[in-house]
Structures are given as C-alpha cells and as structure tokens.
A and B are shown apart, each in its own frame.
Chain A
C-alpha cells in the first residue's frame, strides 16, 4: 500500500514541477550550475571506476576463456561490448545514485527542514519546480556524457590491463572491439543512461522535498533516496533489457 502511496505522490510531485518558469534565466543559470555539479563533480569517480572495471573485466574474461581455440581479439570484443551494454551505464549509475542522489536529497531536505522551501512558496515560486527541475535536467544531460566517457575509459583500462599482463596486444583488443561493435548497443547504453539519470535525480528530489522533521530525517531521506534509486535502476535495467534486446 505504502508503495502505491509513494508512487502516486511521486507522480504528482513530477506533475507539479511543470509550470511556466517564473523567470527562464534564473532556471537556466541554476541548470548550468547543477550541470557542473553533477557532471564535472562526478568525473573523477566515474573515470576511476571505468578504468578499473575495464581492466578487471579483461583479466577475468582472459582467465575464464583460457583455451587455444579462442582468438585473442574475442577478449577485446567481450570486454568492450559488456562495458557498453551493462557495466559502464549500470555500475556507474549505481555509484552516482550514492554520490549524486545523497547530495541532492540532503540538499533539498535541508532546505525543507530549515523552511527555505516554504520561503520559496511564500514568494510565489513553484518550489518543487525551482529546486528539482534544474537538477533533473542537468542529470539527464550530464549522465549520458559521463557514460560515454566511462565506456571509452573502460576500454582504455582493458587495453592497459591486456598489455600489462601480456594477455593481448592493444591492436588485438581494438580489433575485437571493432568486430562486434554495433551502433544499436551504444544507443541502448544511452537509453539506459537517460533512464537512470532521471531515476536518480527525480527520486532523490522527491525524498528530499518531502523530508519532515530535522537533521536526523534529512539523513533518513538521503539514505532512502540512494536505496530506492539503486533498486529502481536495477529494476529498469532488467525491464529495458527485456524490452529492447
């Protein structure tokens, strides 16, 4: 029951956000600010995850496929494809759910418990739209870009690991990656990125916005935002794979 209650309230929250912005310029400035927060702010962690994830996958695939019958480039193609299809978008966004999601929920939650949201309302501003919309838009613009960077870097990580361990040469890796590359896979990956970005930002805004109480509850909202975003990411991962693959 509670699930339906929250889902309905969440939909109303989303619907309530969309009114004509009081001043387009102010919204635009806030969106740019959030883009830099979410995009630039997450670049380092995304890069680290991507490189290691590519490297580890390469070693692991090589270990699992050890056989004279398997040509070396196959390793490159498996690593590259699984990065594009699943690892880059999903792993990255699960981490972003923690980083970006908790930040959004605690920021908005603090605004709520210190009455800053009420202050916006009193000024005649649509507070839900004002605090949430720039973050959601920034998220769905920046996260796909991060995912593209992540895909690129996980291939780099794979190449480095393959070379360093003497499993395959960079040329073999790239040849393998090219052989099985399909544009559709990249599109699928970006669809995932959009979806996850929307989930992370909107769910976190929702939990932050409806915080009640004080500092302790801000912490609770932030935890909830992360947990529910992560669960929804995994769920939609399954759903999208079922529908589109």
Chain B
C-alpha cells in the first residue's frame, strides 16, 4: 500500500498539486483521472521520486519515502516498475536486452535464466518471439507491451503507468487495460494508472481518484463513478462520452 499525505508541488510559484492525500491499494488498479494538465503526471512523478514535493509525506508500506537517502530510495525503486507515456525503451537495445536490463543490473541470474525470465515476461504481455527486434521496428501498442514486460521483469510490488493508452487505437487500448488488470491480480501488485480514458475507468478501475485543479476532487470505485453526484466529475465523464 502506498499512502500520500498532503502532497504539495509547485513550479515557479504555480501550484500544481494543492495538498493531495490518498492511499493506493495492493492487488488493485488505482486510477488517477483528470483533464490534461490537471497534474496527474506530476503526482505520479512525486510518488516515484522523480520530482520532490515541497510538502507532504509518502509511505511505501509504512516506509517514509521522502525521508530516505539516495541509496535507500534506490532500494525501494527496485520494487517499482513504471510504464512511461512514451514507453522510454532503450532504443539502442533489442526488446530482449530491454527486458533483461534490470535483471543484468540487479541479479546474478545466468544468461539462460535471464532468457527464461524475458520469455516469461513477453508471454505475460502476449508478445512472444519478438526478442531480437529493436523498439523502432515495432508498433506503438507493441512498445507499450514491451514496456510493461520490462516493468515486471523484476519481482515488483508497485506498478506505475502514465497514460498507458495514449496514442493507441481503441482496440489496442482495451488489450493493454486487460493486461494491466491481469498482471495486477496475478502478482498482487499495487498498480497506479494515470488516464483520461473513461473506458479504462469503467472497465478496470478498482479505485478511482479524480484530480481537479490540483486537488483530489472525488474518490471512489467504478460503480460509484457513474452515479457520483459531483458536478466537475460529471462534466469530465460527459465530455468523454460520444
């Protein structure tokens, strides 16, 4: 479980996060939703320590994340996987080398063991047999899946996904959603997903956190979302329907 307590973050005097507190639960898909520019990515980056909030605390299973030194932060990060908006695959490395990379860095696995693990991860995302391809040679949807495979290569406890569906067609988006749900449930990880895709919310959202003007405006589960009596949330949902 990850807990946020009163997180504030501003850029050059402009307050982007105005004191957000919430908790993100293990074995569940925790969705952070909101309009573009509402601060979802900033919130996620604060959680993983790529940005430092001016105020507030973050607890990873009761470990005070912001109170740790660089070395301890790196320890926690080995339990974290992240799927970036642009996938952030290493473009000079093959798919296999990408997924293998954290294993090479942090484990003493033999080449054979690593290969098995890579193939296992590729199987999890239904992408067997593309080991030797380079990121530039595969489609956007495939890159996202390889990104997920890389994120789960180590035994992670927390999975962060920044707009996993951005730039994907609706069909591929659903495939990615399903994958994330499967992985979350199978490995009992705490999954956090930034999205403005309402279909994702209705399909796989266990816990939903709606960010509006830098604040947590609404929080609940996917059943509540449809009947929520909250003007801004309704407007956001209505705007996504067609």
Contact = CB atoms under 8 A, between A and B. Distances in A.
B102 interface: yes
A65 interface: no
B105 A122 contact: no
B104 A122 contact: no
Contacts of B75: 124
Interface in A116-162: 116, 118-119, 121-126
A19 to B, nearest CB: 8
B122 interface: no
B95 interface: no
Interface string B82-110: 10111011110000000001101110000
A137 B27 CA distance: 44
A119 B106 contact: no
B66 to A, nearest CB: 15
Nearest to B80: A122
B106 A122 contact: no
B90 A116 contact: yes
Contacts of A171: none
B95 to A, nearest CB: 15
A179 interface: no
Interface in B46-83: 48-50, 70-71, 73-78, 80-82
Nearest to A119: B88
User: Main SS of the interface on chain A?
Assistant: loop
B113 to A, nearest CB: 15
Given A22-B106, A23-B104, A23-B106, A123 B78 contact: yes
Q: Which of A26, A121, A123 has its CB near the most chain B CB atoms (within 10 A)? A: A123
Interface in B216-233: none
Nearest to B76: A124
B109 to A, nearest CB: 11
B82 A119 contact: yes
Contact of A123 (B49, B70, B105): B105
A123 B85 contact: no
A122 B50 contact: yes
Contacts of B70: 19, 126
Contact of A124 (B78, B85, B91): B78
Contacts of B106: 22-23, 123-124
Interface string A96-129: 0000000000000000001110110111111000
Contacts of B81: 122
A126 B49 CA distance: 13
A73 to B, nearest CB: 51
Nearest to A20: B71
B35 to A, nearest CB: 22
Contacts of B82: 118-119, 122
B88 A121 contact: no
Contact of A126 (B74, B78, B85, B90): B74
B144 to A, nearest CB: 13
A75 to B, nearest CB: 48
A26 B104 contact: yes
Interface string B151-188: 00010000010000000000000000000000000000
Interface of A: 19, 22-23, 26, 114-116, 118-119, 121-126
- For the complex of A and B, 7 pairs with smallest distance between CB atoms: A124-B77, A115-B88, A124-B74, A119-B88, A124-B78, A122-B82, A115-B84
Given A122-B77, A124-B106, 19 more contacts: A22-B105, A23-B104, A114-B86, A114-B88, A114-B91, A116-B91, A118-B82, A119-B84, A122-B81, A122-B160, A123-B102, A123-B105, A123-B106, A124-B75, A124-B76, A124-B77, A124-B80, A125-B105, A126-B70
22 contacts: A22-B105, A23-B106, A26-B105, A114-B86, A118-B50, A118-B82, A119-B82, A119-B84, A121-B50, A122-B48, A122-B50, A123-B77, A123-B154, A124-B73, A124-B75, A124-B77, A124-B80, A124-B106, A125-B74, A125-B105, A126-B70, A126-B74
